[in-house]
Structure 1
Amino acid sequence: MTGPTVLISADMEGISGIVHPTETNPDRYDYDRSRRLMTAEVNAAILGVLEAEPDAAVLVADAHGPFRNLLPEELDRRARLVRGQPRPLGMVAGLELGADALLLVGYHARAGSGPAVLAHTMSGAVLDVRLNGRPTGEIGLNATVAGHFGVPVVLLSGDDVACAELRDLVPGAVTVEVKHALGQAAAVTLHPGEAQERLRRAATTAVRQRAQVPPLTLPGPIDVEVDLYSPATVDLATLVPGFARAPGARTVTFTGRDMAEAYRGVQLLVQLGQIKPG
Structure 2
Amino acid sequence: GECLVEGLVCRGGWCVDPCCGTDCLPGQECTADGTCRDPCQDVGQCPEGESCRMGVCVTLDCYFPDHACPDEQRCREGLCQADPCAAVSCPPGQYCLDGACRQPACGSCRDDEICFQGDCLRSLCASVTCLAPGTGCLDNECRPDPCQGVYCAEGFACQQGECLPDACRELACPPPSECRDGICVVPPGQRDGGREDAGPDGRDGGLEPTDGGDGGTTGDDGADGGIWPDGDGAGGCGCASGSAGTRPASMFLLLLLLLRRRGNRSGKRCVGREGR
TM range, smaller chain: under 0.3
Larger helix percent:
1
The TM-score, its normalising length taken from structure 1, stands at 0.20
**Larger relative CO (CA 8 A, sep 6+): 1 or 2?**
2
